[in-house]
Amino acid sequence: MGITKHIKVGIIEALLMVLLFSVFIYPRLQDMGDYVFIYPFNLKDGSIYWALFFSILFGGLLFFLNIYYAIPKYLKNKQVHKYILSIILLFFGLLGIELLTKFLLQAIYNLPENFETLYGANYDNVPMRRSLKIPHVIRNLVFLVLSFGYRYVKDWKQLMEERTRQQTILAEKWKVELNYLKSQVNPHFLFNNLNNIYAITKRNNDTEASEALTRLSSLTRFMLYDSSSKYIPIAKEIKYIQDYIEMQQLRFADEEVIVNLKLEGDIEHTNISPLMLIPFVENAFKYGVKIHQNSIIRIEINIMNGSLFFKVRNKIQQSKNNHVYSGIGIANVKKRLELVYANSFELNINNDENYFEVQLRIDNL
């Protein structure tokens, strides 16, 4: 999704570059009739096309290198002296390469010595212009200024899009919280009474019930106090997943449902938007396990170089195969991924006859 968007933007910018050069070059060529010259390059041997091509190429390089290299690397980091130095090097470096290229073109086309062959002995009478009205240096300065303007508009547009996205996220968050509060009779009352019941089970030495209440209390605490945060340590999300798995396994006999949870990377110091992973685990239990049947769910969470790699794989119970994609939880998490992480994530869901697999990558955590 993100790559396609960047390709489209690149094509638009390249077309814009050609259009800008056309504004400077085409009207002047049109005025010259059949004897088009930018001395010594001319229309008759076609050398002028190469001269114009390299003008566009090197002017375009200056335009885009300023936009995508010099400004973001130096000017945005307030390294003004380094920016000025880089622009001077780019400006005169590209200008020097362009002049060298045109010198080589003169040698290849044997210009201006070849004028007599092209236009006859009286080639001095052929109407020509010694150069375009806009010299190389002035032209490059114009495109340098244009690149500043383009970068400003581009950054302003991105800023407006980010503000709109943040406002949408905030509106969605308020909506979710409002719906959540409407659906709860009194979540704090539930949480407090869970602790009371836990105390009773401990007093009566009911170990299994005590452990179950401990897990449920932990899940409730997460929903009350952590799920409303913008970001949480991914370790908390993983703890929620582990508690959820333990709660689900209480429904089944020993070894009936095996969950392989593999954790790798810097889990303690990486943050994530809450409740991004659990819907996929819930989906695996909903469609991947069945009472009195052995089931295996594989979950992998890997943090590497600031990116999260998450994978869930489970066997599909045939009776539920046609409904795997219908879960509201997965639909909601897709929407939240788009709102929170925009183009910094990739979600792949594979569903064949026997297995359901989710692969999620989130970058720039």
Beta strands in the chain (DSSP E): 37-38, 41-42, 232-233, 257-265, 271-272, 295-304, 307-315, 345-351, 355-362
Look at residue 4 in the predicted model and tell me its pLDDT: 59
Query: Cα separation of 267 and 3, whole Å?
Result: 28
Look at residue 303 in the predicted model and tell me its pLDDT: 95
Amino acid at 339: L
Q: What angle do CA 25, 28, 32 make, to 5 degrees?
A: 135
User: In residues, how long is the chain?
Assistant: 365
Amino acid at 20: L
Cβ atoms of residues 97 and 136 within 8 Å: no
Same domain, 156 and 209: no
Residue 161, SS3? Answer: helix
Backbone phi, then psi, for 116, in 5-degree steps?
Answer: -65, -40
Same domain, 35 and 106: yes
Look at residue 21 in the predicted model and tell me its pLDDT: 64
Alpha-carbon torsion angle 89, 93, 94, 99, nearest 10 = 150
Interval 287-339: pLDDT, tens: 888 777 888 999 999 999 999 999 999 988 755 444 544 556 788 888 888 88
Same domain, 217 and 262: no
Interval 55-104: pLDDT, tens: 878 888 888 899 888 998 888 888 889 999 999 999 889 888 988 998 89
Same domain, 222 and 253: no
Same domain, 269 and 152: no
Q: Do the domain assignments include residue 175? A: no
Q: Do the domain assignments include residue 179? A: no
**By C-alpha distance, which of 277, 302, 169, 289 is closest to 222?**
277
- Better-predicted residue by pLDDT, 10 or 358: 358
Maximum mean pLDDT: which of 21-35, 184-198, 244-258, 291-305? 291-305
Same domain, 44 and 145: yes
Same domain, 219 and 274: no
Q: Do the domain assignments include residue 168? A: no
**By C-alpha distance, which of 164, 142, 165, 175 is closest to 63?**
142
Cβ atoms of residues 142 and 61 within 8 Å: no
Same domain, 210 and 357: no
Same domain, 222 and 241: no
Q: Do the domain assignments include residue 169? A: no
Residues pairing with 232 in the sheet? 272
- Domain ranges, residue 311: 237-365
Same domain, 11 and 149: yes
Q: Do the domain assignments include residue 174? A: no
Same domain, 209 and 269: no
Query: Cα separation of 84 and 80, whole Å?
Result: 6
Q: Do the domain assignments include residue 172? A: no
CATH of the domain at 360: 3.30.565.10
Give the H/E segment covering residue 225. none
Q: How far apart are the first and last CA of the chain?
A: 19
- Among 160, 177, 199, the domain-final residue is 160
- Better-predicted residue by pLDDT, 182 or 143: 143
- Among 126, 143, 160, the domain-final residue is 160
Q: Do the domain assignments include residue 212? A: yes
- Among 200, 226, 252, the domain-final residue is 226
Residues pairing with 271 in the sheet? 233
pLDDT bracket for residue 262 (50, 70, 90): very high
Mean pLDDT of the chain: 78
pLDDT bracket for residue 2 (50, 70, 90): very low
Amino acid at 62: L
Alpha-carbon torsion angle 253, 255, 258, 262, nearest 10 = 130
Same domain, 206 and 267: no
Q: Do the domain assignments include residue 178? A: no
- Better-predicted residue by pLDDT, 67 or 193: 67
Interval 234-252: pLDDT, tens: 999 999 999 889 888 877 7
Number of independent structural domains in the chain: 3
Lowest-confidence region among 3-17, 71-85, 143-157, 260-274: 3-17
Q: Per the confidence metrics, is the pTM higher than 0.85?
A: no
The string over 295-320, giving b where at least 16 C-beta atoms fall within 10 Å of a residue's C-beta and e elsewhere, is bebbbebebeeebbebbbbbbbeeee
